Amino acid sequence: MTMLTTPRLTLRPPQDADAAALVRHLGNLNVSRWTGRIPHPYGPEDAAAFFAHHRNRPDDALILFIERAGELIGGIGIEKGELGYWLAEHHWGKGYGSEAARAVTDHAFEALGRDMMAASYLSGNAASRRILIGLGFVETGPGTSFSRARQQDVATMKLTLTRAAWQDAKERRR
> What pLDDT, on the 0 to 100 scale, is given for residue 70?
95
Q: Is 15 exposed, middle or buried (0-12, 13-18, 19+ CB in 10 A)?
A: exposed
Q: Which of 5, 9, 19 minimizes the C-alpha distance to 70?
A: 9
* CB of 13 closer than 8 Å to CB of 73: no
* CB of 148 closer than 8 Å to CB of 39: yes
> What pLDDT, on the 0 to 100 scale, is given for residue 75?
98
> What pLDDT, on the 0 to 100 scale, is given for residue 1?
83
Give the whole-angstrom CA distance, residue 167 versus residue 173.
10
- Residue 146: pLDDT band (50, 70, 90) is very high
Give the whole-angstrom CA distance, residue 119 versus residue 132.
8
3-state DSSP assignment of residue 70 = coil
* CB of 128 closer than 8 Å to CB of 155: no
Tens of pLDDT along 131-143?
A: 999 999 999 999 9
Tens of pLDDT along 79-107?
A: 999 999 999 999 999 999 999 999 999 99
- Ordered by where they begin, the domains of the chain are 4-173 (3.40.630.30)
Give the helix/strand (H/E) hosting 10: strand 10-12
Give the helix/strand (H/E) hosting 30: helix 29-32
